[in-house]
Structure 1
């Protein structure tokens, strides 16, 4: 009887993984056939529409006509079937847990990178990961910046009442960008304050085994005296920190992709707007004694995926966000979140929304390329998409914060410099910043 039980266990050990792999491959083949069918139909429809334009189609030296913009929006609209969202790009392929396991367990063992720490030196602070204080005196001209150093843990706190966006703190009218680590940026645009992908905690998860910051957050969330709008690109842990949701609450407007709203509302937040790709919402900035200012926030397609557990993969959408003011001299900003590089996609984004004054573009977490290239662009891809979107000033983000891939901790800026040289782009056009540094975009 013991021998029979042992034999059955051995069979199960062999049969179950084989059956699971077979089922997954069958599901992948079926869904990818549907996905590619949608792509073919969309490409055919786009080609027919563009062929009806005067001349020989689109004249890329001129701004896109309305018919072209609408056709591109339709081609690059979100795709959902079988209860999941899918990337409607020819470059994409589904990866699955098996590919992650192949990378993290099999190949990492063979290449001796199973416990690779990215070459991080033991000393703290890390010399080539500089950290600065945000320029609060510039951001909030009539207030006093915090006197505490970054490491003191004593922020100059500000109470935020629901709906106020802060305490009616005057904000600079300049276009500024302050990088706070990973994909968290604090942007001011015509007096509007924008916070992207808030994640300022020490670890991506409340666990000792989760990645820990290579350098501390440049400031406390409470030191951002005014936050009008929070843009959340997707629900991954390094882009959406529950602690930030709890602290900000209803003091600001949350703009998120479809499906992310319920998670934020579960913390009692009510000011949540969900936008599908190319959908827009109007935001009105009202301040006592000042004329109301209008802004348009647009959800923009990108190439990534979503999950907060193994059971909800791609149940929610992912998106970039574009913000544009309607002032006498309009200004614009795009937050790309996480994305792989698709030449056709970012050409389309440039035709629909370009030119763009400021962009926060990811440049890290890109090795090994065979696995990462679909979900995380490398620096060269980042520069190419900036050129295609006609961005005036690009800031490289999503690097030097948490180790989540195989490239060295300090490699993204080095590869960015090579990409700039290759594509004839200056550092003034595409730069990296010390965490916490505030820059003004003229």
Structure 2
């Protein structure tokens, strides 16, 4: 028995050693490729942008090339020097520290140890006014926050759902539990298109996939189709950064006026993966919805802050009317600074985009990071007021109408 156990420990150690070597080598290759690629692209982009005879289309093409997706060693990678890959050991160390410091969830139940009356008071849940939320409007965007980055938006006559998450738990019944229930089931919402920024469980809920099914068009980054197909969903378009998709035929015509709509897949700084060994097999992204070729609604998904990326999106597409920005799940910063924006960075990104108004999401739904669950909301609203930015957060199920100029 002792021999067998020692053989098992030796084999396990050998496998882990091979993993460390592979991770180290591929990480070094990735960092080298990214540095060389970014240097070359910055030089070529600068030449194009600074040329005296450069046209707007030439400048846009240069920026698209500068901020294009990247594959290294068969997996997608962030083409930004600001991003730092985190290994599995770092993730375990962080969670071990949290566990030793004090439990976030009940033992194996995923139940947050917070007083229910406190949650009722601090995080009220409203019944979704489906008639209001789904009524087309000729000059407004109606936004209903459903939790995390899941938003139902009626963009004039186009009904959009972002990053669907309606289940009570992440991953399975043993995963983190929602602090508050979903304001309404997915089946009740009118949905023309679903925008999925990446495949993390809090942005792509498999039960929601089955509930929505093929009645809506799913627009996803490269590599996500396979997950949806396993749930019987085939009405899917995969997109790479900067690709555009005309979705005019999916929209209603409020007031009898026919408008054109398109979705543009835009860059983000994040990562993907749902299992232990599928990291970065699929791409991650953000989205811009344009009406009559003018940017109306930006969905950031999950992203860290990169100083030039959001400015590039503005330069290529133009300033947008409304931005939906993540502002939570950012502590500890030493671990999450490249993956998630804090409230200050979220507001800065909205300014870089030229957004007229901004809504803070990705907070108060699950406790999966170290900050107090209300801190993102409070800081986002406080900093927005200090900086003179039209920024706000919504309550669960709350529907608000934003007038747009075009």
TM-score by length of 1: 0.82
The answer for the alignment partner of 2:221 in structure 1 is: 257
> Contact 2:298/2:324 (CA < 8 Å) preserved in 1?
yes
Does residue 188 of the first structure (1) align with residue 151 of the second (2)? no
> Contact 2:265/2:285 (CA < 8 Å) preserved in 1?
yes
1-side partners of 2:10 and 2:275: how far apart? 30
> Contact 1:119/1:409 (CA < 8 Å) preserved in 2?
no
Matches within 5 A, 1:58-207: 65-105=56-96, 107-108=97-98, 112-113=101-102, 115=104, 121-124=114-117, 125-141=119-135, 171-173=136-138, 174-207=140-173
Task: Give the drift of 1:412.
Answer: 0.4
Change (3 A) 1:113 1:23: farther
Task: Give the drift of 1:79.
Answer: 0.5
Counterpart pick for 1:274 among 238, 245, 252: 238
2-side partners of 1:187 and 1:14: how far apart? 50
1-side partners of 2:6 and 2:131: how far apart? 73
1-side partners of 2:148 and 2:226: how far apart? 24
Task: Give the drift of 1:275.
Answer: 0.9
Does residue 401 of the first structure (1) align with residue 401 of the second (2)? no
Aligned-partner SS, 2:240? coil
> Contact 1:190/1:331 (CA < 8 Å) preserved in 2?
no
2-side partners of 1:43 and 1:126: how far apart? 50
Aligned-partner SS, 1:203? coil
The answer for the alignment partner of 1:36 in structure 2 is: 35
Does residue 304 of the first structure (1) align with residue 263 of the second (2)? no
Change (3 A) 1:295 1:4: closer
Task: Give the drift of 1:30.
Answer: 2.2
Can you list the C-alpha shifts for 1:331-388, whole angstroms capped at 9, x where unaligned?
A: 6101110000111111111212231011110001000000011111000000000001
The alignment covers a number of residue pairs equal to 395
Task: Give the drift of 1:95.
Answer: 0.9
Aligned-partner SS, 2:305? coil
The answer for the alignment partner of 1:363 in structure 2 is: 327
Structure 1 stretches of 5 or more lacking a match? 58-63, 142-170
Can you list the C-alpha shifts for 1:263-283, whole angstroms capped at 9, x where unaligned?
A: 212333232111100000101
Change (3 A) 1:345 1:5: same
Structure 2 stretches of 5 or more lacking a match? none
Does residue 425 of the first structure (1) align with residue 391 of the second (2)? no
Task: Give the drift of 1:51.
Answer: 2.3
The answer for the alignment partner of 1:324 in structure 2 is: 290
Counterpart pick for 1:438 among 383, 399, 403: 399
> Contact 1:116/1:406 (CA < 8 Å) preserved in 2?
no
2-side partners of 1:3 and 1:382: how far apart? 55
Task: Give the drift of 1:441.
Answer: 0.7
Change (3 A) 1:140 1:306: closer
Aligned-partner SS, 1:343? coil
Change (3 A) 1:418 1:7: same
Task: Give the drift of 1:4.
Answer: 7.3
1-side partners of 2:206 and 2:24: how far apart? 35
Task: Give the drift of 1:37.
Answer: 1.6
Change (3 A) 1:16 1:219: closer
1-side partners of 2:67 and 2:29: how far apart? 22
Aligned-partner SS, 1:356? coil
1-side partners of 2:332 and 2:218: how far apart? 34
Does residue 214 of the first structure (1) align with residue 189 of the second (2)? no
